Amino acid sequence: MPPFREGGQAQYVEQPVPVVAEPSLAALLDWARARLGDGVDVRALARQAHLSPRTLRRRFAEGLGAAPEDWLRRERLRLAQRLLETTDQPVERIATLAGYPSPAAMRTHFASTLTVSPGAYRRTFRQPSPQSCQDGASR
């Protein structure tokens, strides 16, 4: 069970990415991260790696201990979290940038994985901009 903050709020901890034994898989992961907003899927990963989807799944299992679908879901969630923490973009735009098919899909993923809505996540973890800190200090 994950640790909880006061008031029953889940603790959010960045999970370290397992070491990738195969350099070609590392390059593929970098390629996919750069294109999450384009809706990269397992077929696109397999085409980029010049592998069949079945062989790609096997390589992911060996190198990452996860299925490519799971890796893509995790990476989309991490990207959405970073964008919520560091930008003022609306949730709908963040869903697009992170490669979710719709804002509703992103909200569902947040609810099932983090047990909060994207808006609640932002309110909790939004990093104040330097400008807002200066404005608050001058008052």
Q: Cα separation of 42 and 28, whole Å? A: 11
Whether pLDDT at 12 is above 90: no
Split into its structural domains, the chain has a count of 1
Residue 79 to residue 85: CA distance in whole angstroms: 10
| 45, 52 Cβ separation under 8 angstroms | no
Would 5 be classed as within a structural domain? no
* 63 backbone φψ class: left, alpha, beta (φ>0; ψ -120 to 50): alpha
Q: C-alpha angle with apex 95: 93 to 96, nearest 5 degrees?
A: 65
Q: Is the pLDDT of residue 11 over 60?
A: no
More confident residue, 133 or 131: 131
| DSSP symbol at 115 | S
Q: Tell me, what's the pLDDT at 1?
A: 42
71 touches 57 (CB < 8 A):
no
In a domain, 47, yes or no: yes
| 10 in any annotated domain | no
Q: Give me the residue label for tokens 């919520």.
A: 84
> Does residue 67 lie within any of the structural domains?
yes
Helices 68-86 and 103-114, axial angle in degrees (round to 10): 100
Helix (H/G/I), strand (E/B), else coil: 105: helix
Model confidence band, residue 139 (pLDDT cutoffs 50, 70, 90): very low
Q: Is residue 2 part of a domain?
A: no
Residues 23-37 pLDDT 10s: 669 999 999 999 999
Which CATH number does the domain housing residue 88 bear?
Answer: 1.10.10.60
